[in-house]
Amino acid sequence: MSKYVVDADHVTIRFNLSNEKINNLKEYAIKLVKKELMFQEFLALDDVSLKVKKGEAWGLIGVNGSGKSTFLKAIAGILKPYKGTIKVRGNIAPMIELGAGFDGELTARENIYMNGTLLGHSKEFMDEHFDEIVEFANIKKFLDSPIKNYSSGMKARLGFAVATVDCPDVLIVDEALEVGDMNFRKKCRERMSELLEGGTTLLFVSHNIKTVREVCDHAIWLDKGKMKMSGEVAEVCDAYQEEQDRLDLERRQKKREKNFKKKGKVYDYLVVGSGLYGAVFAREMENAGKRCLVLEKRPHVGGNIYTEETDGIHVHKYGAHIFHTSDVAVWNYVKNYAPFNNFINSPIAVYKDELYNLPFNMNTFSKLWGVRTPAEAKAKIAEQIADLNITEPQNLEEQALSLVGTDVYEKLIKGYTEKQWGRDCKDLPAFIIKRLPLRFTYNNNYFNDKYQGIPVGGYTQIIENLLDGIDVKTNTDFFKYKKKYKNFKKVVFTGMIDEYFDYKLGHLEYRTVRFETERVEEESYQGNAVVNYTDREVPYTRIIEHKYFEPEKEAAQPKEYTIISKEYSTEWKPGMEPYYPVNDEKNSKLYEAYQELAGKEKNVIFGGRLGQYKYYDMDKVIAAALAEAKKELKK
């Protein structure tokens, strides 16, 4: 005996399509006799096989006209294969077409008994389960009304209730449930789960991929009558969704191209900069049917998150970027454009010949003072703060001392901060440090965010995928471009806001970073992705060992060499790459003046780290760009 409940073997279903219009029966008969009828062969199913075991739930997916319903009708015995065979063990309860098996002139009561008879149930069986069917279908008030007066949802409820009142060997459901309301669909899924647990085999057709994932454990993907893929439901649905997304993007691109030509090739948005802000904004606008041109002055896209592969290692060209967020919407968004690993940032701090864990936590305090408990660490810090007697901090040094005490400040903050800002901590304003997180747990995870990781394959792919299908010009200076071309309606500017206004109010100050990147012929240089050097006498602030951002790749393909980058923080000068703003009182006031100018600028949006003169974590950049895009689309 076969182990398969449904065994469809190389099934082909053929239909004959007429090549000419025949107006009446007489004309048809004459052409038939004269053998002049012309038909075109159409294969609704072409050599499709499917083997289903008892208790399995198979989803049939594909676009309209792919052959899903035809295949189910063949399995149900409604259509006969032109080629191949179909064997079904046990009884079938089909819900292939809405209202199939019902007589519109008969009442619901009469149709229940008639439909039950067609399914092979006795009158006694139907009497016993009549109330159950009526309750499930929720049609008690309309039992004696003709079915023709029923809505599509009512017909679906009644059909499903009758089909599933017993435990059929094979239940076939074809889109019938999509017409019901939310509560009914929930009841149907619960009933199908009960049937599956009882050994019923399910064949389920739906265009709702989410429902297919929830209900089925296997799936078959049909395309133009052919089987494109079959297997585990998640794998097949993922592939199908990816294909539909690709086709949808192509359709939208063709539509945009058509509209673009109609408008005389004028872009809706000229996006200046291909970093996260610009790329996300452009993607959202293009998805909404707008046309964008992205300008990038560098020879590559990606802004400062750009990564390039060097000797099989993804190098963070402009400094280490570790993605972290507690915003589930942003996390889900960015994962659409790259897979992420589960990298956790656990940096090390080196002070002279001493080594400490970061962030400041119990591992740090234990190494500093030999303490073991949070109470001991808190007491030590409190004692040092009390001895300093700082009531109103006048500068950054006093602010830091009043928060963490002498030892943490002297060994882990002072030198690093002075290198980063290029000046003594006593000369820096207190408000730069509003708080210093102290963790009284043994936890070296630098970030508290729920979602963390590094894109497998580097960050560049995120930008490339965001900009897929969008016009991009690299090695292009915006200020030169706008003098020559006027083919845009609005500008999204992510460069330096003071540069946009030609520094008319003066230069805002920035800090910049210089990198020394080299290949080292050692398997491991420092044993960790990030090592900070907190002694001011060491000229660089930290060393990045890039291979440790993707430890899974290194484990799979170990290398006898590594690539490191030393970072040197320096004062920014015109012509240099700005990294982060100097948000002191003087620069904050200057930015406010530029912001006032920006508010008067028509058809220009200023965004991102440089356009808004503020430090942004990557997740906040994405959120800001999404918010601005949403705001624009409401106009």
How far is residue 241's CA from residue 62's CA, in Å, rounded to a whole number? 10
The answer to whether 170 and 201 are in contact (CB under 8 A) is yes
Question: What is the pLDDT at residue 22?
Answer: 67
How far is residue 285's CA from residue 292's CA, in Å, rounded to a whole number? 7
Long-range pairs for 598-604: beta carbons < 8 A, 24 or more residues apart: 598/497, 598/500, 603/489, 603/490, 603/491, 604/490, 604/491, 604/492, 604/493, 604/500
Pick the CATH number of 270-344+449-634 from 3.40.50.720, 3.40.50.300, 3.40.50.2000, 3.40.640.10: 3.40.50.720
Picking from 37-41, 231-235, 262-266, which range would have the lowest pLDDT averaged per residue?
A: 37-41
Picking from 31-45, 236-250, 323-337, which range would have the lowest pLDDT averaged per residue?
A: 31-45
Q: Which of 527, 602, 531 is nearest to 567 (CA)?
A: 531
* Res. 37: pLDDT tops 90: no
- DSSP H/E element including 43: strand 39-53
Higher-confidence residue: 347 or 194? 347
Higher-confidence residue: 431 or 606? 606
Question: What is the pLDDT at residue 606?
Answer: 97
Exposed / middle / buried, residue 522 (Cβ in 10 Å: 0-12, 13-18, 19+): exposed
Q: Residue range 5-27: average pLDDT?
A: 79
Higher-confidence residue: 520 or 132? 520
How far is residue 189's CA from residue 418's CA, in Å, rounded to a whole number? 63
How far is residue 629's CA from residue 279's CA, in Å, rounded to a whole number? 11
Nearest 5°: CA angle at 509, between 497 and 300? Answer: 60
Q: Which among 65-79, 82-96, 313-327 has the top mean pLDDT?
A: 313-327
* Res. 179: pLDDT tops 60: no
How far is residue 532's CA from residue 350's CA, in Å, rounded to a whole number? 6
Question: What is the pLDDT at residue 93?
Answer: 74
Alpha-helical regions (H) of 263-395 = 276-287, 328-334, 362-369, 374-388
Q: What is the pLDDT of residues 484-500, one digit of tens each?
A: 988 899 999 999 999 99
Distances (CA, A) of 282 to 68, 493, 624, 635: 38, 12, 13, 16
Tokens of 37: 């009828």
* Res. 66: pLDDT tops 70: yes
* Backbone φ, ψ for residue 504 (5° rounding): -65, -25
Rg (CA), the chain: 34
Q: Residue range 494-515: average pLDDT?
A: 94
Q: Within 13 Å of residue 7, how many CA atoms lie on the same side as its CB?
A: 9
Q: What is the pLDDT of residues 350-359, one digit of tens each?
A: 999 999 999 9
Q: What is residue 319's DSSP assignment?
A: S
> Is residue 142 helix, strand or coil?
helix
The answer to whether 49 and 8 are in contact (CB under 8 A) is yes
Residue 314: strand pairing partners: 309
* Backbone φ, ψ for residue 5 (5° rounding): -75, -40
pLDDT band at 44 (very low <50, low <70, confident <90, very high): confident
DSSP-derived pairing of the beta strands 488-493 and 313-316: unpaired
The answer to whether 393 and 402 are in contact (CB under 8 A) is yes
* Backbone φ, ψ for residue 460 (5° rounding): -55, -35
Question: What is the pLDDT at residue 62?
Answer: 92
Question: What is the pLDDT at residue 594?
Answer: 97
Question: What is the pLDDT at residue 571?
Answer: 86
Tokens of 345: 């940032």
Question: What is the pLDDT at residue 181?
Answer: 63
pLDDT band at 449 (very low <50, low <70, confident <90, very high): very high
Name the residue with tokens 């182990």. Answer: 3
Residue 473: strand pairing partners: 295
* Backbone φ, ψ for residue 10 (5° rounding): 50, 55
- DSSP H/E element including 497: helix 497-500
The answer to whether 264 and 486 are in contact (CB under 8 A) is no
- Full 3-state SS string of 226-294: EEEEEEEHHHHHHHHHHHHHHHHHHHHHHHHHHHHHHCCCCEEEEEECCCHHHHHHHHHHHHCCCCEEE
How far is residue 154's CA from residue 29's CA, in Å, rounded to a whole number? 42
Residues of the chain with CATH 3.40.50.720: 270-344+449-634
* Res. 163: pLDDT tops 90: no
Q: What is the pLDDT of residues 228-245, one digit of tens each?
A: 999 999 899 989 988 888
Active-site residues: which are they?
A: 435, 439, 511, 542, 567, 615, 617
Higher-confidence residue: 568 or 146? 568
Average per-residue pLDDT for the chain = 88
The helix, strand and coil proportions of the chain, stated in percent and rounded to the nearest 5, come to 40, 25, 35
Question: What is the pLDDT at residue 486?
Answer: 87
Q: Which among 14-28, 92-106, 134-148, 313-327 has the top mean pLDDT?
A: 313-327
Residues of the chain with CATH 3.40.50.300: 4-241
pLDDT band at 97 (very low <50, low <70, confident <90, very high): low
Percent of the chain with pLDDT over 90: 56
Picking from 187-196, 269-278, 324-333, which range would have the lowest pLDDT averaged per residue?
A: 187-196
Kindly compute the dihedral angle of the four CA atoms of residues 120, 126, 131, 136, in this order, to the nearest 10 degrees. Answer: 0
Q: Residue range 536-556: average pLDDT?
A: 94
pLDDT band at 147 (very low <50, low <70, confident <90, very high): confident
Question: What is the pLDDT at residue 454?
Answer: 96
Question: What is the pLDDT at residue 150?
Answer: 83
Superfamily of domain 4-241: P-loop containing nucleotide triphosphate hydrolases (3.40.50.300)
All residues at 6 or more sequence positions from 573 whose CB lies less than 8 Å from its CB, including other chains: none
How far is residue 349's CA from residue 291's CA, in Å, rounded to a whole number? 47
pLDDT band at 211 (very low <50, low <70, confident <90, very high): confident
Question: What is the pLDDT at residue 192?
Answer: 76
Question: What is the pLDDT at residue 36?
Answer: 60
Question: What is the pLDDT at residue 273?
Answer: 97
Distances (CA, A) of 527 to 187, 532, 564, 625, 628: 56, 13, 11, 36, 41
pLDDT band at 366 (very low <50, low <70, confident <90, very high): very high
All residues at 6 or more sequence positions from 510 whose CB lies less than 8 Å from its CB, including other chains: 496, 572, 578, 579, 580, 581, 582
Picking from 222-226, 346-350, 578-582, which range would have the lowest pLDDT averaged per residue?
A: 578-582
How far is residue 392's CA from residue 63's CA, in Å, rounded to a whole number? 69
* Res. 164: pLDDT tops 60: yes
